Amino acid sequence: MSETAYSSTPKELIGPSAFMTAAVRAFESQRPDRLFNDPWAAVLATEEGERRRLLIKDHGAPIIVRTRFFDDCLDQLVHEEDIKQIVLPAAGLDTRAFRMEWPEGTRFFELDQPMVLEYKEEVLQRHGARPLCDRRSLAVDLAASEWPDALLQAGYDPSLPAIWLVEGLLFYLSEEQIRNFLSQVSNLAAPGSWLGFDSVHSAMLKSPLLEVRTKLVASLGSPWLGAIDDPVSLLGSYGWQATVVYSVYKALEYDRPVFPFIPKEELTPELLNLYHLFVTARKEGTRTGE
C-alpha cells in the first residue's frame, strides 16, 4: 500500500485504534477476493494506521471479519425488518453511510468526538464522497450523560425501532461503563430495535496465549479493559434477546485466519473464549403498528 495514499493529518488528532481500523479496511479492499470494498479507507487511515496494522500478527483480521459480519447484518435488517434509523456510537472512520446501499428514508446517525468527525468530514469531502442516506453527525462524549439528548435533538425517534451498531468500543470501557452505556441505549431503543456489538471474554485478558497481543494493544494506547462473559444474560437484564457468534467461526468461513491460529477441530469451549464475540440482539416487545 503506497504511503502517498494517506492523509498527513497528525496522529494525535484521533485515537490510534480508529486509524488502524481504517488501514485494515483499506488493506482488505485491495484484495481481489475482498469481503467488502471501502473506497475511502486508505485516505482516512494515515501512515500511522498502516504502521500499527503491520504490528499485529494477523494484520487486523478480526476487524475484517467483524466488518463483513456486521455489513451483512445491517443489509439484512434494513431490507427485511424495514428499519429506517441506524445509530453508530463511536463511529470513528466508518464509511458505511457512503459505501452501502440504503433504502429510501434511511436516517444514519454517527456519534463520536468532535475532532474525529471533523477530520472524517474534511477528508471525505475532499475526495468527493457523498452519503447514500440521510447522514447526521453528532459530536458528543459517550462517557457523558448528555449524549442521548443530542441524539434526540438530531431527529432520532425513540418510538420507532432502530439498529444500534457498536463496533470496537466496549472492550475499551470498564465493566461499569459498559453497563451504563447499555442502559442508555436500552432506554432509547423501541421494541423491535436491534443491537450489534463485538466484545471480549475475560479469558482473553488473562490468557498466556494472548499476553503478547494484549500488551501490544496496551502499548499502542488502546488497552482492553472490559469483558462480557455472558452477553445473553447481560442483555436479557435490559430487555434484549441476544445471540452470540464466535468470531473464529466467521473467520474460517471467510478464509481470514485470526490469532491465535488454532485448527477448527482443536477448538474447545475454553479456547473459543480467546476470540472476539459478535453479539446481535433484538429488543423484546411489539413494534408500534404491529
Predicted structure pTM score: 0.92
Which residue type sits at 60?
A: G
pLDDT tens column, 63-120: 999 999 999 999 999 999 999 999 999 999 999 999 999 999 999 999 999 999 999 9
Q: Dmax of the chain from CA atoms?
A: 53
Q: Rounded to an integer, what distance in angstroms lies between the CA atom of residue 157 and that of residue 194?
A: 15
Which residue type sits at 28?
A: E
Residue 10 has pLDDT above 60, yes or no: no
Strand locations in the chain (E): 85-89, 107-112, 134-139, 162-166, 194-199, 240-246, 277-283
Is there a contact between 231 and 199 (Cβ–Cβ < 8 Å)?
Answer: yes
List the one residue out of 122, 124, 118, 85 whose CA is nearest residue 102: 85
Pick 139 or 1 by higher pLDDT.
139
Q: Which three cell numbers stand for residue 249?
A: 467461526
Residue 25 has pLDDT above 80, yes or no: yes
On average, the pLDDT of the chain sits at 91
Helix (H) or strand (E) holding 245: strand 240-246
List the one residue out of 192, 183, 201, 212 whose CA is nearest residue 278: 201
User: How far, CA to CA in Å, does 235 sit from each of 60, 196, 241?
Assistant: 27, 11, 7
Q: Rounded to an integer, what distance in angstroms lies between the CA atom of residue 241 and that of residue 234?
A: 10
Q: Which three cell numbers stand for residue 97?
A: 453511510
Number of C-beta neighbours around residue 117 at 10 A: 20
Is there a contact between 105 and 84 (Cβ–Cβ < 8 Å)?
Answer: yes
Sign of CA dihedral 228, 233, 239, 243: positive
Residue 145 has pLDDT above 80, yes or no: yes
* Mean pLDDT computed over 201-213: 89
Is there a contact between 66 and 256 (Cβ–Cβ < 8 Å)?
Answer: no
pLDDT tens column, 162-197: 999 999 999 999 999 999 999 999 999 999 999 999
Bridge partner list, 165: 196
Phi-psi region of 234 (alpha: psi -120 to 50; beta: other; left: phi over 0): alpha
Q: How far is CA 118 from the centre of its chain?
A: 19
Is there a contact between 26 and 45 (Cβ–Cβ < 8 Å)?
Answer: yes
pLDDT for 219 equals: 75
pLDDT tens column, 27-51: 999 999 999 999 999 999 988 888 8
